[in-house]
Amino acid sequence: MKELLILRPHHILDIIRNYGHFEKFTPHPYGHAQHRISEILVSNPNIKIKLINGSDDICTPCKHLLLNGFCNDVLHQLEVPVSKQEYNDSLDKKLFPYLNLKENSIITFKEFLKIVNNKTPGIEEICSHPKEDKNFRLEGLKKGLSKLL
């Protein structure tokens, strides 16, 4: 098992929300590794994570990840479609200061959970995806945090 995971903050928040909503960790058609990373995090809260704003361990096997490390997927659900890379970079750029963390920080998953717990409610205002109900996001985060802490 890896001793250090390299992850985007918003990917971890998605995992916490999904876990709170009792979603199963199953492979995605894109081929990314969210299901495997979710299992690692849930089974080992003391695993170290390096927080980055770029392609991470979830992105690595995804069919949309280009050789240059950028995602070529597009968020079509927005009024004006935007590249997922731009959207995610902007999202994580907002999350780092909100969570009082610096890019490339290395902390344990459990420490990350505690930081998020102290910012909940409120964080759902930043991390809810387009057309996602903020209350649904908040409910999932709260339930996920209570199960993991």
- Residues 29-52, mean pLDDT to the nearest whole number: 97
- Structure token digits, residue 66: 């280009």
- What's the average model confidence in pLDDT over 117-137? 94
3-state secondary structure of 71: strand
Task: Name the pTM for this structure.
Answer: 0.96
Instruction: Look at residue 87 and give its three-state secondary structure.
Output: helix
Min mean pLDDT across 91-105, 106-120, 121-135 is at: 121-135
Whether 50 has a pLDDT exceeding 90, the answer reads: yes
pLDDT at 46: 97
Distances, alpha carbon 30 to alpha carbons 17, 56, 57, 100, 134, in Å: 20, 15, 14, 32, 25
Q: What is the pLDDT of residue 1?
A: 65
